[in-house]
Amino acid sequence: MNVSRKPWPISLGIFTIWLIVVVGGGLLQVKGQPTQLDELVKSQLIYGVLAAIIFLSGTITYFNWWNKIGWKGPNSSRNLRLLSLPALFLFIMLLIVLFTGLPSTRVLLIVIINTLMVGISEELMFRGVLFYGVSSSFGIWRAAWITAAIFGSVHTLNSLITGDFSASAFQAFFAGMFGVWAVALRVRLDTVIPLIIIHWLWDCLAFLAGSSERLGLVLLFFSFILLFYGIWLLRGFRSTVAPVNQNRCAS
């Protein structure tokens, strides 16, 4: 179905339903009992996220938005070099995981599947559907910050599952920074596919590395570097008013 009216209200409606599916599914799965995310991600498949992917896939197909939300190849193979810095940090995280030791095969597979589903779901929603809708009305620069702020804020809702608001607020801070450089790569590459892979590997390696103060400081350092990297990538887009797929990304 082709929709000629502004996609912003539609994308907001899709986001609202997506949020209900993800959060509601998580609450149903833990039966209202406070459960740490680390425990949930490592012990069972998260069915609410799977349901959200199915919902998004059907909705994007219905509105014929796959190309608009960035489900395509990059605009230029030269721009793939912009992934070098995130790739470097992911490699360092991999070394940390290998040094600390891998969990059992069962736990490893569950973490890989869960984090892959989260990467697909959140990138399709935030850097895909929501960014397309917001940028169509507010331009690329403002859309980048709006979607990053929403992405970060949504992570505070993890406290409904964990019962720990302070930890969720800290996670939201990390997510907000992630949202800035992720959307910057979305703009420059004009695709969400590499972002799904980065998001998946980032979450997967972070969960496998475990939780420690030292690791938290390392990830905080990486996040700040990537935040400023994202702001640098967005240079030249402050005055851009058209959606991303109507602009030629600078190299």
Give the pLDDT confidence of 24-45 residue by residue, as tens digits. 999 999 998 999 999 999 999 9
Query: How many Cβ atoms from other residues are within 10 Å of residue 22's Cβ?
Result: 23
What is the Rg, in whole angstroms, of the alpha carbon atoms belonging to the chain?
Answer: 18
Closest CA to 55 of 7, 8, 14: 14
Question: Cα dist. 128→16, 47, 102, 135, 191 in Å?
Answer: 15, 21, 33, 11, 8
For the segment 73-100, the average pLDDT, to the nearest whole number, is 95
CA atoms within 13 A on the CB side of 160: 15
Token digits of residue 76: 């230029």
Residue 239 has pLDDT above 70, yes or no: no
Give the pLDDT confidence of 71-84 residue by residue, as tens digits. 999 999 999 999 99
The end-to-end CA distance of the chain, in Å, is 34
For the segment 159-163, the average pLDDT, to the nearest whole number, is 92
- pLDDT at position 73: 94
Distance CA 251, CA 233 (A): 9
For the segment 12-18, the average pLDDT, to the nearest whole number, is 98
Distance CA 123, CA 125 (A): 5
- Tell the burial category of 180 from Cβ atoms under 10 Å away from its Cβ (0-12, 13-18, 19+): buried
Give the pLDDT confidence of 126-138 residue by residue, as tens digits. 999 999 999 999 9
Q: Say which residue the tokens 């569950």 belong to.
A: 110
Query: How many Cβ atoms from other residues are within 10 Å of residue 45's Cβ?
Result: 14
Length of the chain: 251
Alpha helices in 67-104 (DSSP H): 84-100
Q: Is residue 118 within 8 Å of residue 211, measured between CB atoms? A: no
- The pLDDT confidence band at residue 236, using thresholds 50, 70 and 90, is confident
- The pLDDT confidence band at residue 238, using thresholds 50, 70 and 90, is confident
Distance CA 87, CA 78 (A): 16
Which helix (H) or strand (E) covers residue 17, if one does? helix 7-29
Give the pLDDT confidence of 175-192 residue by residue, as tens digits. 999 999 999 999 999 999
Share of the chain above pLDDT 70, in %: 93
- pLDDT at position 204: 97
Give the pLDDT confidence of 186-233 residue by residue, as tens digits. 999 999 999 999 999 999 999 999 877 778 889 999 999 999 999 999
Distance CA 12, CA 70 (A): 17
E strands of the chain, at which residues?
none
- pLDDT at position 213: 73
